[in-house]
Amino acid sequence: MGIPIYSARLFTPDARAFDWAKPFALELTYDRGFSKDRLVYATGKELVRMEGDQTDHPAILTKLQKCYRDVSSSDRFVALGAKQDEVQFSLNGTRTCRLQHPDIRKRLLSIWVSENSRDPKLSRRLKGQ
């Protein structure tokens, strides 16, 4: 039994096939509210689940504290992975930050767009597979 948390959409240039080497955007539209701290905590737990403990996780989470915001039902967070080492965040159309970190696009967005995600079926659907 699951409680809906968000709906997700993936955007690629010209609606081309998903490719980690190319820019893409992930949009999450929340079904309920969460604090920024809860979102950062959940992201940290997922990074550890997917990568194991890494020495740079605290640095990534500190950067995410500046990017994430509290969300309410219907809020729309977009993560634009335009570059391998950069993800830009916006909330409801307003840019919140630009996170730069080695290979952050794949490391962070794999939480939603990989076979290792909590919902591989959703991941495949987002990628059009």
Per residue in 61-101, pLDDT (tens digit) is 999 999 999 999 999 999 999 999 999 999 999 999 999 99
Interstrand relation of 86-91 and 94-100 (parallel, antiparallel or unpaired):
antiparallel
- Within 8 A by CB and 6+ apart from 29, the residues are 6, 7, 8, 9, 74, 75, 76
**Cα-based torsion angle of the residue sequence 28, 53, 81, 62 in order, rounded to the nearest 10 degrees:** 80
37 within domain boundaries: yes
CA 77, 61, 88, 117 torsion-angle sign: negative
Domain limits for position 71: 6-126
Number of domains in the chain: 1
1 within domain boundaries: no
**Percent of the chain clearing pLDDT 70 (strictly above):** 98
| pTM for this entry | 0.94
The band of 60, judged by pLDDT with boundaries at 50, 70 and 90, is very high
84 within domain boundaries: yes
User: Per-residue pLDDT for 1 more than 80?
Assistant: no
Q: What is the pLDDT of residue 54?
A: 97
Specify burial of residue 121 (Cβ count, 10 A radius: 0-12, 13-18, 19+).
Answer: exposed
Q: What is the pLDDT of residue 2?
A: 66
104 within domain boundaries: yes
95 within domain boundaries: yes
Per-residue tokens: 119: 């919902």
